[in-house]
Structure 1
Amino acid sequence: EQGISLREVLTEFDRDIDEHTTLVAHNLDFDKHIILAEIAHLGDLDLVRKVLAMPEYCTMKKSVNVAKIKKSRGGYKFPRLSELFYHFHGREFQNAHNAQADVDACVKCYQKLTGLK
């Protein structure tokens, strides 16, 4: 009822990836699978190839040995985005599981992990 069509979203996504060098997400494998399925469903194979060719950075995987959240059977678990944000900022982030809030939190965690500002 509200919002924009998937085709419009993917057109904007295509423009965004033309302006950026790395695909970044928390649990990138999951997000990438969903995005690629939707792009393929619309038949945009050029965009599929473009996404597959991009360098990737998964904040969830890259932060295992940074957040150091112990698993019950030893080792460290993949931190949830909220746990990683708390690790870096000492506070919860507002509106978790709201798309824009999650993006903002992921960006802040990515910046901490990579030393970028």
Structure 2
Amino acid sequence: MNDRTTPTLAQRIRYICGGTLPPRMSAWVIDDLTGPGAARRYLLRILVPILALLCLFLLIPGPLWMRLAMMALLYLPLIYFTAALMYVYRRARLTSHGLDPALADSGQRQRVAAEREAYERRHGRG
């Protein structure tokens, strides 16, 4: 029986494309979606591969500035919507792995708790 807790290369590729991992890798999934660098990984996984597809616009005849403008007209809104939907994506990925979607809020809850503790220490309530 395979008891790996981190995905193989094939499993990672499937995971990046939207697949799920076995339940024994739940800790890895939680760390990937909510741990340090989660936002950077999410943005890179979506925004970098699209660049290869957008480079097809460079094959269209015409001035370079026009081809780059066509690419920008698609890429800039993609950046905006990718960032805007990050929270929804995290919750959906956690749910698809059978995990509690509230885990997506864990970082925010920790920050609020730390701020509250610092406030109470400053003002003599803790």
- TM score, norm. by length of structure 1: 0.28
Higher relative helix content: 2
State which structure, 1 or 2, has the greater radius of gyration over its C-alpha atoms.
Answer: 2
Higher relative contact order structure (alpha carbons within 8 Å, sequence separation ≥ 6): 2
Higher relative strand content: 1
- TM score, norm. by length of structure 2: 0.27
